[in-house]
Chains A and B, each alone.
Chain A
């Protein structure tokens, strides 16, 4: 438990990626990717990743599309969406199917993300 869990954050905005690392580096080993494709490649080389948080609106592949692909190869990771939009039908479907664990709104709430991630990890451990 003391060992930092690996977390992948995917967002097409470099500032978001940089700030995310700064704010979460104390708790997690944070990896970042600028797109869904990059994220998928990165996951292949770091299968120890436990948490994946992705932006929704990105060029090429949106968050849910990326997570659906990632979930196929790595079904044991906990997936989250962090979006500037309100909940969309696509996100709601993914939530209902259990593809994503939860969705967060931008601007992010540090506490909310930390709590949910812990919750997902605990649940993961129990299973």
Chain B
């Protein structure tokens, strides 16, 4: 932008310049013309025209000398006035013989540089109408050419040709210089503009590129944000679940103590009773033993439930050791072999990929056992359980698929809730999967279920592992 403003400034200078050029040219060549016109004086004697011409040329010279001090407007109107005065005086006196009428061309030419277009037209119309009126006055004989001028002889003279040539030259040189000046200025201005435009274009292209980069960054950030939001949603879900578990843990710890103490009374009483019967009531032992056993079984069951509740109280300090998931699974299968044989066909598809799994072996054992026990319970008559392991992207994935009764969609949402069970009263506590979920959570693992009623259930456990041999 500053460059263009500078160029516009230059155009303004050129306009001023043009006026000065015109004044200089007019003074020099005008003086020459005046000197030549003095020949008329010599040939035809003194005439008022010589005084007017002298006044005009002196005025032009004064204007030229003081050109730098005068304002453009004054110079313009003065110049136009002088041209008109010169031309009209000449035409009034010499009529058609006038040689300065060519200067009339300069009037619109100078006007258009400094005045608005309409004003220029008005000035020009005034000029040309004035010219025609003078012509008409000559035609009517109201104005007459001085008697000493013989028009027929005058046109045969040489000096009018010379004077005309000088006048044409004044006009021609002014037009030439002015036009050249304009062309030069505008050419350089345009080339400067082109440079400016190309620079601007470059700047815009750079800015555009930057914008594109920024845009890409922004869309990248947007994707990251979306990821972060979905992660947050996931985490929130997990937090809600673990919060449930945590408050359950506090509750469980309190309840455990409060129940264990009365259980201790019962237990202590029964133990005492048992030895008392053994020592003193041998005869009644047969009658009393079933009663004692019943109490003992009740204490045992209640105590087991309380013990499993204790899994909800968190133990961040349980030692982590390197676990072999395959031996844990095998171990669980051995423990369950009694329930499984003749009923369930177990198929193992174990990975031989390298990994290191850090967990508490006992807890992991319990987690796997819970799922296997559920799979076995789900199979009513005969069926199969497929156990697979795999290592993908630093995750150990264990799937346990059974051909059991399946879990309904609404129940799927609740199976990890504590105390949720579909088993008959006394057969399940509803804590198995809840505990399993809790254990896996503790080791940053996940527990997922896919199930269809009547077809079977697939349980997917993932656990983070290290030292995998994957890239």
Residues of A contacting B28 with CB < 8 Å? none
Question: Is B292 on the interface with A (CB-CB < 8 A)?
Answer: no
Partner of A57, one of B257, B269, B317: B257
Contact with B along A78-112 (1 / 0, CB 8 A): 00000111110100100000000000011110100
Kindly identify which residue among B256, B268, B317 contacts A108, using a CB–CB cutoff of 8 Å: B268
A19-B253 contact given A86-B313, A107-B263, A107-B264, CB 8 Å threshold: no
Chain B residues with Cβ below 8 Å from A26 are 275
The B contact surface, by secondary structure, is helix
Q: Does A37 contact B (CB under 8 A)?
A: no
- Number of A-B contacts defined by CB within 8 Å: 65
B interface bracket (residues with beta carbon within 8 Å of A): 20 to 34
Q: Which B residues, 244 to 286, have Cβ-Cβ distances below 8 Å to chain A?
A: 253, 256-261, 263-269, 271-272, 275
* A42, chain B: closest CB distance, angstroms: 21
Residues of B within 8 A of A13 (CB): 261, 264-265
Distance A107 CA – B269 CA, assembled complex (angstroms): 11
- Residue from B263, B275, B310 within 8 A of A86 (CB atoms): B310
Q: How far is the CA of A13 from the CA of B265 in the complex (A)?
A: 9
Distance in angstroms between the alpha carbons of A16 and B315 in the assembled complex: 28
Q: Is A28's beta carbon under 8 Å from chain B?
A: no
Interface centre among B265, B266, B275 (most CB of A within 10 A): B265
Q: Which residues of B contact A85 (CB under 8 A)?
A: 253, 256-257, 260, 310
Flag whether A15 is at the interface (Cβ < 8 A): yes
Contact A16 B261 (CB under 8 A): yes
Does A41 sit within 8 A of B, measured CB to CB? no
Interface members, chain A 1-38 (any B CB < 8 Å): 13, 15-16, 19-20, 22-23, 26
Question: When the two chains form their complex, are residues A107 and B267 in contact, meaning their CB atoms are under 8 A apart?
Answer: yes
Q: List, in ascending order, chain B residues with CB within 8 A of A83's CB.
A: 257, 260
Bound complex: CA A16 to CA B257 (Å):
14
Please give, as numbers and ranges, the residues of chain B lying within 8 Å of A20 by CB-CB distance: 268
Complex Cα distance A85/B249, Å?
12
User: Is B303's CB within 8 Å of the partner chain A?
Assistant: yes
CB distance from A58 to the nearest CB of B (A): 11
Contacts of B260 in A (CB 8 A): 83-85, 105-107
Q: Which residue of A lies closest to B266 (CB)?
A: A107
Residues of A within 8 A of B261 (CB): 13, 16, 84, 106
CB distance from B235 to the nearest CB of A (A): 27
| A23-B275 contact, Cβ under 8 Å, with A16-B261, A85-B256 | yes
Contacts of A19 in B (CB 8 A): 264-265, 268-269, 271-272
CA distance A15 to B262 in the complex (A): 9
> A84-B256, A84-B257, A85-B253 given as contacts; is B264 within 8 A of A22 (CB)?
no
Cα separation A23 to B303 with both chains bound (whole Å): 20
B323 at the interface (CB under 8 A from A): no
* Measured CA separation A85–B264 after assembly (Å): 12
Q: Show 6 residue pairs from A and B whose CB-CB distance is below 8 angstroms, ordered by the A residue.
A: A16-B261, A16-B265, A19-B269, A22-B272, A87-B315, A105-B260
In the complex, besides A15-B268, A106-B263, 18 extra interface pairs with C-beta distance below 8 angstroms are A13-B264, A16-B261, A23-B268, A57-B257, A84-B259, A84-B261, A84-B264, A85-B253, A85-B256, A85-B260, A86-B253, A86-B256, A86-B307, A107-B260, A107-B263, A107-B264, A107-B268, A107-B303
